[in-house]
Structure 1
Amino acid sequence: MARFGVVFVFLGITIFALFCHVSCYPDQLTVPPLYRIDLDLPEEERWVQVAKDHKEIVPDVYSVLLSFLGKFPYANLTIKAIEAVAADVDNFLPKPYAGEMRGIAKALNMNLGGIVGMNILYDVTAFCTSIVTQDVNGQIWHSRNLDYSFVDMLRNITIRVDFIKNNQTVYSGVTYAGYVGLITGMKPKGFSMTLDERDQGAWWENFVIGLLDRRAMPISFLMRDTFAECSNFKEAVDKMAYTSTEASGYVIVGGVNKGEGMIITKGRLGPVDLWKLDPDNGRWFEVETNYDHWVPPPASDNRRDPAVKKMNEIGPKNITVDSLLSVMSLPPVLNHKTTYTIIMSAAKPELTKVWVRHYNG
């Protein structure tokens, strides 16, 4: 912005203010559209407007996913498994997800297997950075970057969603058009949660094994169930930690009371590790990327250490939306695969900010 100089005097102050606010971020930030998903509607009608607004993009995303699948062993087996789930979706997947996906497929005039495939594959291919923080006043904050391949397409279908019942917002999230689960969300005055992929085993192995265990849920569906059914931090932690899922993952949970921050290192059948905030002993924040917190991250993907260093520089007295955004905007925490950033606090949901990221560094 500075390179344009002072062209008009009356714009000078505004340009200066904008420069100071955004120049420290190495990318363009845009705000995703907000949709209201009415849970009082029939399942097949809830996402119709979202689907129609993105009908030119979502089918292309699935085509790219199929190309992505082709690079891995047993791709044909995985595709056949997805088709089998789609053919008997009501028996494989719980309510309301089967009906919601059916409605999206109909609105897009798209094969149901495509929508099912998108929903299942998103669960096991995301790389992310999540931070749960307690500031000097005891307020819990939750920050996250979500990183994916084929990022250019996903930026165009990133949306915010308020889930409405009886005309009241019961929980909210950030997701992609065509995706009915949640891996980023918040229950106002209750808790916040994000999911980071756990780098344990090939994703296609987790997917096939999960299909064979009919008790296991896609972890994004479990997360949405948790927002719908649980009211507080403890209930959310217990449900997420001890429910069988199709894949491992890191579930980052923030509450509304002091000390209510947790990183669940989740195996398919239960927790491997529960890592809780301990502000009285100096652990006022925790950073999770895609590796177990008790081992060093690989040198080829070390987002953890830069985030930890930046958080310690900021300190608990200086936690704000802007200071947390600066952490999430620090390369390589921010990278060319980052689709969006969210800063939220379940205790003060009105502070929530979401940005689509356009970083090409």
Structure 2
Amino acid sequence: MSIIFIFLFISIVHSDIPLDVPSFSIDLDHAPIDRWSDIIPNFAQPMNEFNIAIRAQIPQVFIDAAEIIVTRLEEHIPQPYYDELYSIARSISMPLADIVLINLVYELRTYCTSLLVRTSNNTIIHGRNLDFDLNTDLLRRLTFHVKFFRTSNPTFNYESIHFAGSIGLLTSSRSGYFSLSINQRSTDDKDWWMNALMSILHLHSLPLFIITRSIFDNSIMSYQDMKYILQNRHLIAPVYFIITDGRSSGMIITRNRLNSINPIELNSTLVQTNYDHWLDDPSNDPRRTAAENILQSFNSTQMTQDNIFDIVLSVIPVLNKLTVYTAIMNPGEKQDIFAKIRTLKPRQ
């Protein structure tokens, strides 16, 4: 009863009108230089606005380093992803350095709530709210759904909830195989921007947008293969990987740049925000605690997509003014990603 009361109270004092997410498709059999040319021009204005905004908000030294990376891009970004970045830049006449910068900002600023829930029919629901603390309204205008496929292989496809300009995957599902969401891991590293760039320049670590695409673009990749890569591949920044095969297994992988620590496997429910799961939520950010308390009040038959969306991912503070979108994946049911752009605001 208390959960219902809270939900009704929040509905009275706040307004959120979930919006549909526009959808596109990409044939991976097409040349990489052409894959994004029909999609990105639809987002030219908000992409330019976002680029101007982030250049004004992030340290200049980070921008300078991104421009250095571009001068040696072929050393750091393998094909076909080099050509995809160039394709995006060409399609809206934006400098390639700015596209690289946008990709790095997208993957280094994801303040999110991700959850895994085992249902009564033995599938696993994978839900997430993606929160972004830079220019949230612009990010809503840059959000779309994309289905990747190969004409040459009718059985191969996967989906992503995407930000225009990015080639990587923050929220993605391959039906019948696995799903993935990525949350930023909060640390005390005050120089994390520069450390991330130095990892690319001097340690030859791959950005997440390359690692995630190389996993999902591989038609023979298994859940166990993905799990091994995400636990062991050197990264440019600490993150959390939330993964499931949709049927029997799911887990949270907590990553440093070089290794994983304290992985936790799914029993009935798991919730991850931006803090290590073995620590308490900070007092000013109780998103994980709020979601866990609601899930603990459910019985197994209440673990449904509708309830996860309506009662867990739509309740403050799990839903908040920085939430760009909500996505629910269920790779075990072989369902498309259900996603809505969120617009939470106080009622006038």
The alpha carbon displacement at 1:267 in A equals 1.1
The alpha carbon displacement at 1:352 in A equals 2.8
The alpha carbon displacement at 1:166 in A equals 1.8
User: Helix, strand or coil for the counterpart of 1:292?
Assistant: coil
CA displacement 1:30-59 (0-9 Å, x = unmatched)? 111111111111111101111111111111
Aligned length: 329
Question: Is 1:263 matched up with 2:252?
Answer: yes
Structure 2: runs of 5 or more not aligned: 1-7
The two structures have a TM-score, normalised by structure 2, of 0.90
Query: What's 1:193 paired with?
Result: 180
Question: Is 1:253 matched up with 2:238?
Answer: no
CA distance in structure 2 between the partners assigned to 1:286 and 1:333 by the alignment = 14
Structure 1: runs of 5 or more not aligned: 1-19, 70-74, 279-283
The alpha carbon displacement at 1:126 in A equals 1.2
Equivalent residue for 1:102, pick from 65, 86, 95: 86
User: Helix, strand or coil for the counterpart of 2:342?
Assistant: strand
Equivalent residue for 1:332, pick from 310, 314, 317: 317
Say whether the 8 Å CA contact 1:314–1:323 is kept in structure 2: no
The alpha carbon displacement at 1:342 in A equals 0.4
Query: What's 2:331 paired with?
Result: 346
Farther-moved stretch of structure 1 (185-194 vs 135-144): 135-144
CA displacement 1:194-252 (0-9 Å, x = unmatched)? 00000122331332332234431112321221112253322211111111111110000
CA distance in structure 2 between the partners assigned to 1:126 and 1:277 by the alignment = 22
Structure with greater Cα Rg = 1
CA distance in structure 1 between the partners assigned to 2:131 and 2:84 by the alignment = 25
Equivalent residue for 1:219, pick from 208, 211, 221: 208
Amino acid at match of 2:185: R
CA distance in structure 2 between the partners assigned to 1:277 and 1:161 by the alignment = 28
Query: What's 2:4 paired with?
Result: none
Query: What's 1:153 paired with?
Result: 138
User: Helix, strand or coil for the counterpart of 1:192?
Assistant: strand
Say whether the 8 Å CA contact 2:184–2:240 is kept in structure 1: yes
1:114-153 equivalent positions in 2, closer than 5 A: 114-149=98-133, 150-153=135-138
Say whether the 8 Å CA contact 2:76–2:201 is kept in structure 1: no
The alpha carbon displacement at 1:351 in A equals 5.3
Query: What's 2:5 paired with?
Result: none
Query: What's 2:49 paired with?
Result: 60
CA distance in structure 1 between the partners assigned to 2:202 and 2:264 by the alignment = 27
CA displacement 1:252-310 (0-9 Å, x = unmatched)? 0011322x1100001111111211013xxxxx010000000000111111101100011
1:1-361 equivalent positions in 2, closer than 5 A: 26-69=15-58, 75-149=59-133, 150-166=135-151, 168=154, 169-200=156-187, 201-202=189-190, 203-229=192-218, 231-258=221-248, 260-278=249-267, 284-325=268-309, 326-350=311-335, 352-361=337-346
CA displacement 1:325-357 (0-9 Å, x = unmatched)? 020011000000000000111111325310000
The alpha carbon displacement at 1:360 in A equals 1.5
Change (3 A) 1:257 1:232: farther
